[in-house]
Structure 1
């Protein structure tokens, strides 16, 4: 029954919502080149996707954030629904990194570019460095946060080794880096599956880690700390159950 609901109800509505809201976002981009309007529309789109997927999201730790502050958010990555969940949950406006190939897809690529999101080309260290410097510039000059998945892609289970990029960006921009744990999304939409299950999602926001007085050479140590922090957030108990949701 869950699979039937996913294929005949949730998935068609997700496609419809994406087409409608994506079109509105593109139209808005011609009147607002800052990307602010696109982010506001993306937040509504994300909440629509969670609603039609029957996913209930609980967020812990938002009180640790300064709503007017800029951060580098670092999260584990296990599902295509990770970005919608974070768009719906985080109060900060942010830009995120996406694989370079996604920018070549008609409609999607245009939206990503006009919204100000950042391409990642892992085959080219020079291109990757350029994207990281652009991210640091966005944070420093515009006060807009950046989201990065340091595993470099989705993970089927556990945590993969972290890349040093997010730590480097935070140090260069001189802003705190925030570890975020996404719990439950991988089970609701696993890698390689089209079966979108309903269920509960928990997002844990960790303590912001200051990068004050850090140098680029400290990025590896900071990356290791982020790995430990996210691992702790992922596996600590208790997890909310029943009426706690």
Structure 2
């Protein structure tokens, strides 16, 4: 049988089953919040975990998680991850052992069906609106005070050319928040997701393995606002060094 036909059949299967999971689980995720923000959020993320691993298993996408020994499940962190694909979000939902909420763009809330669920499980930000940025900052601080970790993609947007530039320049937000709240910042390096679903290739998903590595967290208790740029560069260098080493190994 033609390999191209099999690949197209696989993509129809993968996208179709993702849609089925979304249609079935979105109402359950939304209804979870009748139990309140704390317990409803925990239940909603149980459903999201089931979605992440259930769909990945059906779509022949595997998750490889390294460095979990660096993370305490009872500690609040600001997780900082690189962002190469729409597959990053479900992979990180499965990988992160802590109760957390991601910071997400308000534009995603306009996607039919998915957007309904999205409004409940992320802290939304409209970067073009100063009030929205301030409100999201206040909300993230409140969540951290309550023991919930925050996931931020410090590149600010998805990397459209991960095969050329493995990291885009970081924005200040995650690092300023980490210093202001004296919260450890925990870098996460995500690999291979851009190859399985490239950001410029629509729904042309491929099977394979997404690798996620938790690097040792960085303590911010001794830092103040003037250290923001240095902290940002430190995290960038750590993540880039990890990615560069992997590329060097592959090129040997």
User: Does the alignment reach a TM-score above 0.5?
Assistant: yes
Match of 2:110 in 1: 104
Match of 1:54 in 2: 60
Between the aligned partners of 1:23 and 1:79, the Cα distance in structure 2 is 25
Matched residue SS, 1:85: helix
Matched residue SS, 2:80: strand
2:185 to 149, 154, 177: 177
* Aligned residues of 2:190 and 2:211 also touching (Cα < 8 A): yes
What aligned pairs does 1:6-155 form with structure 2 within 5 A after superposition? Answer: 6-34=10-38, 35-115=41-121, 117-140=122-145, 142-155=146-159
Q: CA 1:25/1:106 → structure 2, altered by over 3 Å: closer, same or farther?
A: same
Matched residue SS, 2:216: coil
**CA distances 1:62-115 after superposition (whole Å, capped 9, x unpaired):** 001111111000010000000100111111121011111222344433323333
Between the aligned partners of 2:10 and 2:232, the Cα distance in structure 1 is 37
Match of 2:217 in 1: 208
* Bigger Cα displacement from structure 2, 87-96 vs 30-39: 30-39
Residues 1:227 and 2:233 aligned together? no
2:171 to 151, 154, 163: 163
Unaligned runs of 5+ in 1: none
Match of 2:205 in 1: 196
TM-score by length of 1: 0.90
* Aligned residues of 1:204 and 1:233 also touching (Cα < 8 A): no
Matched residue SS, 1:178: strand
The structural deviation recorded for 1:132 is 2.0
Between the aligned partners of 1:239 and 1:12, the Cα distance in structure 2 is 37
TM-score by length of 2: 0.88
Unaligned runs of 5+ in 2: none
Q: What CA RMSD, in Å, does the superposition of the two structures yield over aligned residues?
A: 2.0
Q: CA 1:15/1:239 → structure 2, altered by over 3 Å: closer, same or farther?
A: farther
Q: CA 1:216/1:127 → structure 2, altered by over 3 Å: closer, same or farther?
A: farther
Between the aligned partners of 2:225 and 2:82, the Cα distance in structure 1 is 23
Matched residue SS, 1:211: coil
